[in-house]
Amino acid sequence: MKTILFAIGNNARQDDGLGWAFGEALERGGLFDGEVHYRYQLEVEDSELVSNAGRVIFVDAFKGELPNGFQWDKVEPTADFEFTTHALSPQAVLFFCEQLYAKRPEAHCLLIGGEAWELGEGLTHNSTNNLLLAMEFLKEKLGIAGNKVPQPIDIEQVTAR
Amino acid sequence: MNKVVIEPVTRVEGHGKVTIHLDDEGRVKDSFFHIVEFRGFERFIQGRPYWEVPVLVQRLCGICPVSHHIAAAKAIDQLSGLDPVDLSPAATKIRRLLHYAQVFQSHALHFFYLASPDLLFGVDAPVEKRNVVAVALENKELAKKGILMRKFGQEVIRVIAGKRIHGIAAVPGGVHKHLSIEDRDYFLSGKDLPNVDTMIEWMMEVMAFIKDYHGKNAPWLDSFASYPSGHLGLVNANDGSLELYDGRLRAIDADGNRTLNDIRDVDYLQYFAEGVEPWTFLKFPYLRHLGRENGWSRVGPLARLNVCDSIGTPLAQAEFEIYKNYTGGKPNNHTMHFHWARLIEMLHCAEVMQALLHDPDILSDDILRRGERRPEGIGIVEAPRGTLIHHYQADEKGMITRCNLIVSTTHNNEPMNRAVRWVANNVLSGQPKLTDTLLNQVEIAIRAYDPCLSCATHAIGQMPLQAVLYDAAGNVLDERLKNGN
């Protein structure tokens, strides 16, 4: 079953880069056998990409407190459209996928708590910790955790400050 | 005096505000299309090294960054001592492939995502239906092809520039890498993506659709927001054919008389001036010798097909002849024909991409040239929405000292104002109350030109759509609020 992970955010806006940092760290680990796609925002054409996957994971920063520093939610197709179709929600992408391609992959959102959103590269210390917790969780979910799995996080790359 | 405010305009990326001033009898007295944001790129680019410019200025836009990247690169080539003819064939062809892919994907976005609801559902459709969601639900095959056509263009951009948005391809004097055989075959084989031949095949289907649509809706399409105007665009320096990457600037008046006769792009400043108005940040370019009142021109697909003599690819040329015959060979001044012209350009882009993908030069590693530094560079391309001018000066250390940008939306500032005025005069005037249908027609007129105001100005976040009717004393008589936060 092909897994697609969408790393969503803006790495020029501090913790809004959590999604991208997560995707990069996962890829550096070398054991994730799915595809990672980096997005500032989800678009209509992502529904075509999603239609080729059995499982989809949307990883994005979350503005606010989360009990464990991250949150894992199942996502269902929903006609969840905002004022503009310039940026779509994961639910809306799945909705397009179901309507246009008659496909309904298993889908989850992994939200990671952040706290700083100004112009600037790098993550805050707390959000980096949240990212590490979320990474351990996902590795276990995907069955790529274990002693033989090297720690995928490069702290110098996922800059804590 | 009463005043109608529509703010912002939906499915026009970026910020826009329309005010329509009514008199006490409810008749339109005047109208304005305002650009109320300030972009500032011309200032903050100053002091940066010239070689950074193509990377920095593409941030002007998230829809057509490649156009800014290429226009800036052409200017920076000159700062590096190189004119377009000095670049290697490989570099020129790779840049051209990138640019035509950009126009292809941007036109797909404009037509399928933004404009098609206007055509498919009409101006009377309920507001919840006038969007790409409804198109996707009711016209699945059209939507799927639209998505894949946009994806094809974006994939060409990704392969050449590294990313679909804000990648890097052009460097001073050339490009930073050539295509590999695997890259090329990705677009030719059809194994992982519908190939370029399929793009052409689908475009022919879309051409059949638009001609059929015009046949059935001619009275509306021929009259809505139509008015005589000048037209401006690049043409091929050798034969006057449609040109998007590098050529001569040509302008004609509403009757087809030449008002700008194939000038070199680097001489543009001798012929153009820019007017300002207190109610908008967007300037009003015009031809100096015709003056502010008469020297403005439309740009974009409609204008380009008016100024060019032919199209250099066979299928698009055949469609061009049908299109030109519709107006008896005269300039086409019908605003809603922008979409027809846009689709002919898409077909042309697909044919150009097909030819370039079969050209062995795109695999060559002869991609860079060197020259002697110059103090000034001017790059002009035809962006999806029209003529795009980048002009830079740099000091002896290579730091940018002056920057002037005239983007497509700026050229179309006066034309869009005229289109809004047409709607105000012909549709809104005398109506007792604001309706979605009426307001949407203002947007349809603007949308025919340009769904993207962001590169001309600035846009952040999501905005409400508000329409307000004021009386002469500034009291709210009627208010309409569309979706938004």
Q: Which amino acid is at B187?
A: F
Cβ contact A48–B113 (<8 Å): no
What is the C-alpha to C-alpha distance for residues B29 and B207, in angstroms, rounded to an integer? Answer: 40
CB proximity list for B85: less than 8 A, separation 6 or greater: none
Which of B137, B151, B482 lies at the smallest CB-CB distance from A48? B151
Residues of A in contact with B143 (CB under 8 A): 100
Pick the residue of B133, B149, B164, B192 with the most A CBs within 10 A to test the interface with A by mutation. B133
DSSP B281-315: EEEEEEEGGGHHHH--EE-SHHHHHHH-SB-SSHH
Cβ(B17)–Cβ(B7) below 8 Å: yes
Q: Do B133 and A85 touch (CB under 8 A)?
A: yes
Determine, for residues A100 and B143 on separate chains, whether the beta-carbon distance falls below 8 Å. yes
ipTM of the complex: 0.77
Picking from A44, A86, A99, the nearest residue to B137 by CB comes out as: A99
pLDDT of residue B456: 35
Check if CATH label 3.40.50.1450 holds for domain A3-142. Answer: yes
Which single residue is written with the structure tokens 């109350």? Answer: B433
Has residue A79 got a pLDDT over 90?
no
Q: Which residue of B131, B144, B485 is in closest CB contact with A85?
A: B131
Residue-level pLDDT at A161:
42
Question: Which residues of chain B make contact with A45, given a CB cutoff of 8 A?
Answer: 147-148, 150-151, 154
Query: How far B321 CA lies from chain A's nearest CA (Å)?
Result: 33
Residue B434 pLDDT > 80, yes or no? no
Residue B2 has pLDDT above 70, yes or no: no
Q: Band of the pLDDT at B483, cuts 50, 70, 90? A: very low
Q: Which residue of A has its CA nearest to B141?
A: A100
Chain B: residue whose CA lies nearest to A45? B147
B133 to A81: CB separation less than 8 angstroms, yes or no: yes
pLDDT (mean) for B203-232: 95
Q: Do B316 and B179 contact (CB within 8 A), yes or no?
A: no
CA distances B130 to B149, B435, B443, B484, Å, are 21, 14, 11, 15
Q: Is the pLDDT of residue A148 over 50?
A: no
Taking any CB pair shorter than 8 Å as contact, residues of chain B touching chain A are 10-11, 13, 62, 113, 131-133, 136-137, 140, 143-144, 147-148, 150-151, 154, 165, 462-465, 482-485
Render pLDDT for A18-42 as a digit per residue (tens, 0 to 9): 999 999 999 988 888 899 999 988 8
The SS3 assignment for B398 reads coil
Kindly indicate the confidence band of residue B134, based on its pLDDT and cuts at 50, 70 and 90. Answer: confident
CB contact under 8 A, A101 and B154: no
Containing H/E element for B90?
helix B89-108
Average pLDDT over residues B405-431: 83
Q: Which residues of A touch B151 (CB under 8 A)?
A: 45, 48
Distance from CA of A47 to the nearest CA of B (A): 9
| pLDDT at position B84 over 90 | yes
Tell me what the pLDDT averaged over chain B comes to: 85
For chain A, give the mean pLDDT. 86
Cα–Cα distance for residue pair B81/B70, rounded to 1 Å = 17
Cβ of B73: how many Cβ atoms within 10 Å? 31
The answer to whether the CB of B12 falls within 8 A of the CB of B451 is: yes
Whole-number pLDDT of residue B446: 82
Write the residue in A44, A83, A101 that is nearest to B484 by C-beta. A83
Residue for token digits 């920057």?
A: B403
Question: What distances in angstroms separate CA B302 from CA B208, B210, B261, B340, B392, one per listed residue?
Answer: 18, 15, 18, 8, 29
pLDDT for the residue numbered B214: 95
Question: Given an 8 Å threshold on Cβ–Cβ distance, is B463 in contact with A85?
Answer: no
- Alpha-carbon distances, residue A22 vs A70, A130, A138, B166, B414 (angstroms): 12, 10, 10, 21, 47
Q: What is the pTM of this model?
A: 0.87
Domain ranges of chain A: 3-142
- Say yes or no for a CB contact (<8 Å) between B132 and A44: yes
Q: pLDDT value at position B439?
A: 74
Which chain A residues have any C-beta within 8 angstroms of a chain B C-beta?
A: 40, 44-45, 47-48, 79, 81-86, 96, 99-101
Instruction: Kindly tell me if the per-residue pLDDT of B465 is higher than 90.
Output: no
Q: Can you give the pLDDT at residue B132?
A: 75
Domain boundaries, chain B: 2-37+414-481, 88-225+353-368
Q: Is B141 exposed, middle or buried (0-12, 13-18, 19+ CB in 10 A)?
A: exposed
Contact call for B133 and A84, based on CB within 8 A: no
B482/A83 Cβ within 8 A: yes
More confident site: B244 or B62: B244
Higher pLDDT, B471 or B140: B140
Lowest mean pLDDT among B204-213, B301-310, B413-422: B413-422
B483 vs A47, A79, A83: nearest CB: A83
More confident residue, B280 or A49: A49
B295-329 per-position pLDDT tens digit = 999 999 999 999 999 999 999 999 999 999 999 99
- Element (H or E) spanning B212, and its range? helix B196-223
Report in angstroms the alpha-carbon separations of B193 from A101, B164, B326, B342, B389.
16, 15, 36, 23, 34
Radius of gyration of chain A (CA): 15
CA distance, residue B195 to nearest chain A CA (Å):
16
Burial of A35 (0-12, 13-18, 19+ CB in 10 A): middle
- Please report the pLDDT score of residue B458 as a whole number: 26
Please compute the mean of the pLDDT values over residues B271-280 and round it to a whole number.
82
Q: Report the residue of chain A nearest B164, measured CA to CA.
A: A39
- Cβ contacts (< 8 Å) between A47 and chain B: which residues? 147
Are the Cβ atoms of A44 and B113 closer than 8 angstroms? yes
Compare CB distances from A83 to B132, B154, B462 and report the shortest one's residue: B462
Q: CA B287, CA B271: separation in Å to the nearest integer?
A: 6
Characterise B462 by phi-psi region: left (phi > 0), alpha (psi -120 to 50), beta (else): beta
Dist CA B59 CA B65 (whole Å): 6
The widest CA-to-CA distance across chain B, in whole angstroms, is: 70
Helix residue ranges, H only, chain A: 18-29, 46-50, 90-101, 125-142
The residue that leads in pLDDT, B91 or A84, is B91
The alpha carbon of residue A3 is apart from the nearest alpha carbon of chain B, in Å, by 17
| Measured distance CA(B319)–CA(B349) in Å, rounded | 13
- pLDDT of the residue at B463: 31
Q: Quote the pLDDT of residue A76.
A: 95
User: Which residue from B159, B482, B60 is spatially nearest to A84, judged by alpha carbons?
Assistant: B482
Chain B residues closer than 8 Å to A99 by CB: 136-137, 140
Share of chain B above pLDDT 70, in %: 85
Q: Do B462 and A40 touch (CB under 8 A)?
A: no
B132 contacts on A by Cβ (under 8 Å): 44, 85
* Residues of chain A neighbouring B9 (CB-CB closer than 8 A): none
Q: What is the mean pLDDT of residues A91-105?
A: 94
A104 to chain B, minimum CA–CA distance in Å?
16
pLDDT at B10: 46
**pLDDT over threshold 90, residue B472:** no
Instruction: For residue B105, list chain A residues with Cβ-Cβ distance below 8 A.
Output: none
- pLDDT at residue B442, rounded to an integer: 79
Chain A residue numbers touching B165 (CB-CB < 8 A): 40
